[in-house]
Amino acid sequence: MRSFDMIIKNGTILTMDPANTVITNGIVGINGELISFIGKDDGASINARKVIDAKNGLILPGLINGHTHSAMTLFRGLADDLPLMEWLNDHIFPAESRINSDFVYTGTLLACAEMILSGTTTFCDMYLFEADAARACREAGMRALMGEVLYDFNSPNYGPIEKGFVYTEALIEKWIDDPLLSMAVEPHSLFTCSPDLLIAANELSLKHRVPLIIHLAETEEETTYVEKIYGKRPVRHLDSLGILGPHVIACHCVHLNSEEINILSEKGVKVIHNPESNMKLASGIAPVHEMISKGIAVGIGTDGCASNNDLDLFSEMDTAAKLHKIKEMDTTVMDAGTVLKMATIEGTRALGIDKITGSIEAGKRADIIVVDTNKPHLTPMYNPYSHLVYSAKGSDVFYSIINGRLVMSERRLLTIDLDDIMEKATAISRDIASYLKSKK
């Protein structure tokens, strides 16, 4: 008799393993934090403390949100339909001058709730007061790669950049052995970070063997600015500073030419694509198809709720697939299987955690979601990959397991008091709105 702490049965398993194995009428067995069995239900006797019935739905790895600013859920809809630099300088940066640890803790919990409810089990965060974001994330039971944003001007959290490096190093050391959370060094961008800051950030990243995460080549304005100040395009600028390497995760990468794509590929840089944010801010369309063809690991992210305005990766996958078909005028580009990989195993490869999660394989952490396919918009089902990318919604996820822990059961959150968090978020939003109104 097989014995497990938890099993998921009566569903089709999309493992997202190297062979893209699909198992109908499958069973996933979980012991502790780990997946210990994947196979077909052969009727053998099983003993399990917890049994999840997938009800003929789809069982797949939890989705990976490769880039977001989680606490910006509290800025959702604050300043829409504006150019990026105006959006940042005239609205977001002034609003961020008001934030504090409670803001970030509340906003991150709200983000975790939204992500769990829509099938995300891992996310990569860049924001302020990340010690409080980490506390919220740990309470919610989510897996995350996180880091404090660094830039040349004073931060409302740590003040001058020198203290920002001290704060970042303390985060790295505190969470180094945590089973769910890990830290990165996160300079904001080339237009907010001097060469000296970028070099120091890179040295800290290499010292602790953690990723360096940065916004890169997001807009034409950024490219023009970097060329004017440094005489090089953004990728060349970073390369000239000796920064590019396999430890670097570059977010957006919209304005790249073929030479720059080749450099990123040769240096082993990872990329996170944020299609809906790039569309909403009219930043452009990243050359994702070309990057993937050059062997670059490309994950998918939502960016923050102030520029998206949600954290639903199902919506993001649908957008990514269709956007690149029209860009390339080729219906075969960014097929459903490729895009689902970007949101699962390729997402973890981009974040450097593919050895522990991103696919349903024995020995990996049990980060698994179950999608309810008994819905009109998912009936009939010829191709599960196609359905997940083009038809499914975040609200179709009805079970979520992270690190072997059930965090959502039949659409009910088990780790977050959603009503309480939404009430606190609404109260904070009133304070932000009042402050911005007083500045006009």
The helix or strand, by DSSP H or E, that contains position 22, with its residue range, turns out to be strand 22-31
Buried/exposed 319-349: b ≥16 CB within 10 Å, e otherwise: bbbebbbebbeeeebbebbbbbbbbbbbbbb
Q: Under 8 Å CB-to-CB from 438, ≥6 apart: which residues?
A: none
- Considering only 43-47, 65-69, 90-94, which range has the smallest mean pLDDT? 90-94
Taking residues 390-414, what's their average pLDDT? 98
Distance of alpha carbon 270 from alpha carbon 225, whole angstroms: 23
| pLDDT of 278 over the 70 cut | yes
Taking residues 337-366, what's their average pLDDT? 98
**Residue-level length of the chain:** 440
Distance of alpha carbon 356 from alpha carbon 352, whole angstroms: 9
What pLDDT score was predicted for residue 376? 98
CATH number of the 2-61+359-409 domain: 2.30.40.10
Contact yes or no for 313/394 (Cβ under 8 A): yes
Residue type, 323: L
Distance of alpha carbon 11 from alpha carbon 40, whole angstroms: 10
What pLDDT score was predicted for residue 440? 65
Domain boundaries, the chain: 2-61+359-409, 63-351
- Considering only 6-10, 92-96, 327-331, which range has the smallest mean pLDDT? 92-96
pLDDT in tens, 105-154: 999 999 999 999 999 999 999 999 999 999 999 999 999 999 999 999 99
Taking residues 32-43, what's their average pLDDT? 95
What pLDDT score was predicted for residue 94? 81
**Peptide bond before 309: cis, by omega within 30 degrees of 0?**
yes
Distance of alpha carbon 61 from alpha carbon 383, whole angstroms: 17
- Considering only 67-81, 187-201, 241-255, which range has the smallest mean pLDDT? 67-81
What pLDDT score was predicted for residue 81? 86
What pLDDT score was predicted for residue 185? 98
- pLDDT band for 296, please (50, 70, 90 cuts): very high
- Considering only 112-126, 235-249, 420-434, which range has the smallest mean pLDDT? 420-434
| pLDDT of 88 over the 90 cut | no
Taking residues 29-35, what's their average pLDDT? 98
Distance of alpha carbon 187 from alpha carbon 417, whole angstroms: 33
- pLDDT band for 197, please (50, 70, 90 cuts): very high
Taking residues 58-66, what's their average pLDDT? 98
| pLDDT of 87 over the 80 cut | no
**63-351 domain in CATH 3.40.50.720?**
no
Taking residues 197-224, what's their average pLDDT? 97
Contact yes or no for 243/212 (Cβ under 8 A): yes
Q: What is the mean pLDDT of the chain?
A: 96
